[in-house]
Structure 1
Amino acid sequence: MIGASREALDAARERLEALTDNTRVDAAALATDLAAVTQLLHRETALRRVLTDPAQEGERKAELIRRLLAGQVGGEAVDLVSGTVRARWSASRDLVDAIEELADTADLIAADRVGALDSVEDELFRFGRVVATSPELRSALTTRDDSAAAVAAKSALIRTLLGGRAHPVTERLVTRLVERPRGRSLDAGLDALSVLAASRRNRSVAVVTSAVPLSDQQRRRLGDALARLHGRPVQLNLDVDPAVLGGISVRIGDEVIHGTIADRLDEVNRRMAG
């Protein structure tokens, strides 16, 4: 997002944080309500355009969405969404993306409250690795058939894979992504969720792929070096791929660097010195 949408999203994030500071607010229920609003706005193109029309007064847009959502979702979701539509948005899709991020964040807050955020973050990464190595599973979860039967089949598959094996928040996040990808690839969606989870602890995510498992010392050295480079803690998501041929690949966001383990550490140190 850029411009007005970026500012509107930042303000919406702050409202969500303020709202969920009150532990009496059920963050998981709020996430479910916001996910339902996401689907409504995704489906109703005309409504989405009205709510992001800069010619419309913010209060009129807020009153419209309050009327539509009253009795359909909880009061906290109504207040949060009505405040969000008051803002200016650069594109109508940005509003939907923002509400969806708020839904995912609310679920992550629910996990954080019970000390499960690290587990959820790790489970999202591990599930992504499983999908990456199983073309059959990827095909089953990414079919373009959006019929009710096909969506139900994908949900059932996620329950089989994660039910009882992963935290409920992980299962909910993955299920929503699989059921309603909204044009995203499964890989991109899982990566975005991992980054969102890491950001709650004010840290970045580095996907580290090596030919053999890194030793504890190598993990510490790489983690410390990347943290110094980026000015914040870095979560290392480790993957082993013999195709790397004795080297290492580190990806943080759009930055991808290949080399041997020693070369990668030396390069980080050189960049720090520069």
Structure 2
Amino acid sequence: MSGAASRASLAEAVERLEAVLSTADLTTLGEELFGITRLLDREPSLRRALSDPSRDGEEKAQLIRILLEGKISEPALELAADVVRQRWSRPRELADAFERLAVIAEAARAESEGRIDDLEDEIFRFGRVIDREPQLRNALTSPRPPAEQKRELVGALLEGKVTPSTSRLISEVVTDSRGRSLERALEEYGRLVAQRRDRLVALVRTPTDLSEDQRTRLVAALSAAYGHDVYLNIEVDPGVLGGISVQIGDELIDGTVARRLDDVRRRITSG
């Protein structure tokens, strides 16, 4: 992302995606987002209309809804509407954002299946195979075979040998590298998967929603403490009664009033 507006919008889009992951069908979300990427690549006038900074965000959201309603799932449609509401420095960067969201969605799918390490390793190993097999590389990068034929070739090569997410990501870069070399596209996808694998997710329970400033400070504190990027999943729970609790993996950092009251009750009953 070259423009400051696009970088900020991409960060917002990724955050919106994270909120969608808990309700979306992860077996289809990546493909739906890749489909939007292909649509925007294929239709430059649409790409310009949806990234035009002079147009109202709600107008752009309504346009994408009209185009895609009934064709993709509701979570994917709402995410797409949120993304086009943002400001993008260049029309191309809107399509780039959808591609990145698609890769992250596939990484999240592999993560949910406990196979994100496999996904990262399989993308890397496929890149090495391409390096060693020039005939295979030529078959996959030649402009002559149609995309469907290339997709069938990838399916024949990988079926039963890799995760479904690996197969989908490799099929995408083989059928539409979006102007990059096959090697570079695989490296970019591998990097995004690695970022997903290395991050930490913090479940935060709080009686009221946190402000943007509070979220920023909490992320900074947790990232510094754990030495990793931390993503917040916020759960608003009035029963917390004040303070917050933060759970990262098996570790619970509990500073809530409810926890302190429970501690007092235990002391009283045990006495």
Global fold match (TM > 0.5): yes
8 Å Cα contact 2:57-2:86 kept in structure 1: yes
- Structure 2 counterpart of 1:12, one-letter code: A
- Give the C-alpha shift of residue 28 in structure 1: 2.2
- Give the C-alpha shift of residue 177 in structure 1: 1.0
Match of 2:169 in 1: 173
RMSD value over aligned CA atoms? 1.5
- Structure 2 counterpart of 1:84, one-letter code: V
Match of 1:18 in 2: 19
Mapped partners of 2:39, 2:162: distance in 1 = 28
Aligned with residue 185 of structure 1, among 181, 191, 200: 181
- Give the C-alpha shift of residue 116 in structure 1: 0.3
Mapped partners of 2:80, 2:26: distance in 1 = 15
Mapped partners of 1:67, 1:155: distance in 2 = 29
Q: TM-score, normalised by structure 1?
A: 0.71
- What do the CA deviations read for 1:96-148 (whole angstroms, capped 9, x no partner)? 01001111111110100010000010000000000011111111111123xxx
8 Å Cα contact 2:48-2:91 kept in structure 1: yes
Match of 1:120 in 2: 119
Kindly report which structure 2 residues correspond to 1:189-208, keeping only aligned pairs within 5 A, or say none. Answer: 189-202=185-198
Match of 1:61 in 2: 60
Q: TM-score, normalised by structure 2?
A: 0.72
8 Å Cα contact 1:35-1:100 kept in structure 2: yes
Mapped partners of 1:184, 1:168: distance in 2 = 23
Structure showing greater radius of gyration is 2
Match of 1:216 in 2: none
Mapped partners of 2:61, 2:154: distance in 1 = 36
Mapped partners of 2:228, 2:128: distance in 1 = 25
Q: SS of the residue aligned with 2:146?
A: helix
- Structure 1 counterpart of 2:28, one-letter code: A
Mapped partners of 2:158, 2:45: distance in 1 = 37
- What do the CA deviations read for 1:161-190 (whole angstroms, capped 9, x no partner)? 111111111001100111111111100111
Mapped partners of 2:70, 2:152: distance in 1 = 29
- Give the C-alpha shift of residue 153 in structure 1: 2.1
- Structure 2 counterpart of 1:150, one-letter code: P
- Give the C-alpha shift of residue 158 in structure 1: 0.7
- What do the CA deviations read for 1:178-221 (whole angstroms, capped 9, x no partner)? 11111111001110111111101237xxxxxxxxxxxxxxxxxx
- Give the C-alpha shift of residue 232 in structure 1: 5.6
Mapped partners of 1:53, 1:190: distance in 2 = 30
Gaps of 5+ in 2: 200-226, 230-271
Mapped partners of 1:187, 1:88: distance in 2 = 30
Q: Does residue 159 of the first structure (1) align with residue 155 of the second (2)?
A: yes
Match of 1:85 in 2: 84
8 Å Cα contact 2:117-2:197 kept in structure 1: no
Kindly report which structure 2 residues correspond to 1:31-50, keeping only aligned pairs within 5 A, or say none. Answer: 31-50=30-49
The total of aligned residue pairs comes to 201
Gaps of 5+ in 1: 204-230, 234-274
8 Å Cα contact 1:28-1:106 kept in structure 2: no
Moved over 4 A (4+): none
Match of 2:7 in 1: 6
